[in-house]
A and B are shown apart, each in its own frame.
Chain A
Amino acid sequence: SQTIHQWPATLVQPVGSPLSLECTVEGTSNPNLYWYRQAAGRGLQLLFYSVGIGQISSEVPQNLSASRPQDRQFILSSKKLLLSDSGFYLCAWSSGSNQPQHFGDGTRLSIL
């Protein structure tokens, strides 16, 4: 069966520090991969999605970037974190468009 792993679960970072969140999927090949952010008490906002290695689409201009160095690995990065980057970050995978997306357990990021 397919599983998705996301780490770390929680992270506290100072303003201006770099960020790297990692997400890996097991049990499937060539998944579509997604990064979402959820502000407190709100729905999810799509940040990036990827249909293949090295293929990244950005939905929202921001201080973040994403990379997909391997088929089942999706990384969310920042060179310098801002206070507004705080939130709950979720990685997800799906087998294609208009298919259910399955989420990791999320990373709670706090910027101090």
Chain B
Amino acid sequence: AQKITQTQPGMFVQEKEAVTLDCTYDTSDQSYGLFWYKQPSSGEMIFLIYQGSYDEQNATEGRYSLNFQKARKSANLVISASQLGDSAMYFCAMSENSGGGADGLTFGKGTHLIIQP
């Protein structure tokens, strides 16, 4: 079973509208982290936002917020007031503590977001 599921392969959104990118995860760990990354066409992976499993409040970073619903194992990214520069691939990722070491991230397959003027 996939550990990270992103059900939206592509999305078209009008500029200045809010965007919600879906992400559900699967883990049996109590301690884990959830991340969102942006990958423009140039290829670099840009860290956007992080939510720890024990964090009670939803994470926010500028125009980005993470809608964390632990019981539903959901970690959706919300981008407010979208801009043309937001067009990119967006990846949800998870780290788990079960390995006891520096476990890497497990990534979803991504959502291709296109902002239209």
CB distance from B26 to the nearest CB of A (A): 15
A96→B45 contact, CB < 8 A: no
In the assembled complex, the Cα of A96 lies from the Cα of B52 at a distance in Å of 13
Q: A93-112 interface mask toward B, CB cutoff 8 Å, 1 = contact, 0 = none?
A: 01011111111111010000
A106→B47 contact, CB < 8 A: no
In the assembled complex, the Cα of A101 lies from the Cα of B36 at a distance in Å of 11
Could you say which residues of chain B place their CB within 8 Å of the CB of A51?
101-102
In the complex where A43-B91, A98-B97 touch, is A59 in contact with B104 (Cβ < 8 A)? yes
Report the contact-size class of chain B (Cβ under 8 Å from the partner).
Answer: 20 to 34
A36→B102 contact, CB < 8 A: no
Kindly name the residue among B35, B43, B44, B46 whose own CB sees the greatest number of chain A CB atoms within 10 A: B43
Which B residues fall within an 8 A CB radius of A? 4, 31-33, 35, 37, 43-47, 50, 52, 91, 93, 95, 97, 101-110
Which A residues fall within an 8 A CB radius of B? 32, 34, 36, 42-46, 49-51, 57, 59, 88, 90, 92, 94, 96-106, 108
